Amino acid sequence: MTIGFIGLGIMGRPMSKNLIKAGYKLAVYDKFAKFDDLVALGAEGASSNKEAASKSDVVITMLPNSPHVKEAILGPGGVIEGIGPGKIVVDMSSIAPAASREVEEALKAKGAAFLDAPVSGGEPKAVDGTLAIMVGGDQKSFDTVKPILEKMGSSVTLVGDIGSGNITKLANQIVVALNIAAVSEAFVLAAKAGVDPVKVFDAIKGGLAGSTVMNAKIPMILDGNFKPGFRVELHIKDLQNALDTAHKLGVPVPLTAAVMETLQALKVDGMVASDHSAIIRYYEKLAQIEVRK
Ligand code: NAD
């Protein structure tokens, strides 16, 4: 079986390396990033999205947002020109659920199947092959690609029909953004009160307030390390998709809207390329205090 892998950025590159390590034959392509390192590891380089798809039985895409996925799959020279009946396209990008449904319709007309399968866990888990993968689509296609997804993730869950993977991912991104904001507000209060934030972390991480987000982000914040990881601009994209989807469904999301404005303030402050843990920089500026070791 040959797997086409399109989108070799922060996430796609280590994910594709894990597939090569697992023994799969890969055809790789990225519109902007070089991929000589993957070719050196045994992957075949393609010169377009169409070519990567035509060489493959299963095509995986890992791209920034809905417009990139639509361009790469449905655009001129896109995946759709290189596929046909029996092939399966798995989009692992985090995009709007409505865009997943649109892409599925177009691929169905060519006889190909489509799954939306976004991931949670970030770069370290992409490297380790321990991502959480949430999938939307039909059971048969899911069963076919599950062994492939298991080489990139430690949990692979079919959550429902097409678009359900991205609905689940939007829920995930709301929880993560609000959790970083809550941790930020709390630690800025403690620091301004003169209490050592390292000791606050030690004291509360094992209690009800503790979280995976706190364990991942507080050590970075204490070191003043805002290198991405997950860029502010990608979280703006996810919350925009969450707001649009929620409003279309008639679901008010007031806390998501508030954190979106925090992210917009970081954008104005030139921090779109920082890790989303930089949310604390907004609170630090308001209170004129830094949460550091
Ligand atoms: P990235 O920007 O590092 O990589 C995206 C890659 O897609 C780039 O190399 C770019 O050149 C390529 N690309 C863009 N348009 C293309 C096209 N039309 N054809 C072919 N290639 C194209 O982004 P990333 O951090 O790897 O994130 C990818 C997706 O995964 C996003 O949806 C993101 O929200 C999601 N995600 C990221 C993280 C993280 O921690 N970085 C965690 C979970 C989920």
Interval between CA 28 and ligand 1 midpoint (Å): 14
The pLDDT value given to residue 261: 98
The pLDDT value given to residue 70: 98
The pLDDT value given to residue 122: 87
The pLDDT value given to residue 143: 98
User: In ligand 1, which atom is closest to the CA atom of 93?
Assistant: 32
The pLDDT value given to residue 185: 98
User: Which residues does a 6 A CB cutoff place in the pocket of ligand 1?
Assistant: 6-12, 30-33, 49, 62-64, 68, 71-72, 93-94, 119-120, 122-123, 229-230, 234
Interval between CA 230 and ligand 1 midpoint (Å): 10
**Residue minimizing CA distance to atom 31 of ligand 1:** 64
Q: What are the tens digits of pLDDT across the range 66-109?
A: 999 999 999 999 999 999 999 999 999 999 999 999 999 999 99
CB atoms closer than 10 angstroms to residue 199: 10
Supply the DSSP string of 245-292, one letter for each residue. HHHHHT---HHHHHHHHHHHHHHHTT-TTSBGGGHHHHHHHHHT----
Q: What are the tens digits of pLDDT across the range 50-65?
A: 999 999 999 999 999 9
**Residue minimizing CA distance to atom 25 of ligand 1:** 10
**Residue of 17, 169, 217, 237 with catalytic role:** 169
Angle of CA points 27, 33, 36, to nearest 5°: 55
Please give the structure tokens belonging to residue 215: 């364990």
> What are 89's strand-pairing partners?
59, 114
Residue 173's nearest CA partner among 250, 101, 93, 114 is: 93
Domains in the chain, start-ordered, CATH in brackets? 2-161 (3.40.50.720), 167-287 (1.10.1040.10)
Decide if 55 is catalytic.
no
Low-confidence ranges of the chain (pLDDT < 70): none
